[in-house]
Structure 1
């Protein structure tokens, strides 16, 4: 297992070198109505660093570029997602092209994942730490 300090350093390095698609989604996520909580970007969870994470909903959002179609990377993504789901996280994946072509549709899907439905009221969320 990789040490916490190494994972935090990796996350910090990734935050400093975000892709244009990550920046676009990050700006949109900051506008999502979620009183009481927020999304984190490049957040360490277990042995992994995830693109975006909403602790109150245990929701992970991953952005994938074209290289995620390669067999080895796709298999690594499947293993990573299986581990996260086994630990109780929900993982939603979007292609970079989804973010650039139809950001509104991506944000609607995220809103539904967070609040349950498009017409649901954005209620305050509470982050409960698991011990």
Structure 2
């Protein structure tokens, strides 16, 4: 049994329809692949930009680390200097307290000088003037 032309045409139409369906599916797959390729290209660009940004951030972090180390050294030096200054102030305060409590030699009391010492000096001056008067008279 041989197929008639109509049967062959029907089979060809069915095959043609199946090929069109496959072709449409392939076309959709190709479009998806193109979209995926575009997305991959965009992701590649983004990844490159992120890589560059990370490199810049690493450089910034290294500079900040160096600055922090310098600041730490400065603050340590300041702390040492302030500690020494505090010790010196404590020593000075102790010396001042000893001087203030230890003796009154450094203080000058005007009232005591006038009441005790001035009459002595006046007496000596009168005696000296009297002796000079006597000495010049002879």
Of structures 1 and 2, the one with the larger relative CO (CA 8 A, separation 6+) is 1
TM-score (norm 1): 0.17
Larger Rg: 2
Query: Which has more helix, going by share of residues?
Result: 2
Q: More strand per residue: 1 or 2?
A: 1
What TM-score does the superposition give when structure 2 sets the normalisation length?
Answer: 0.16
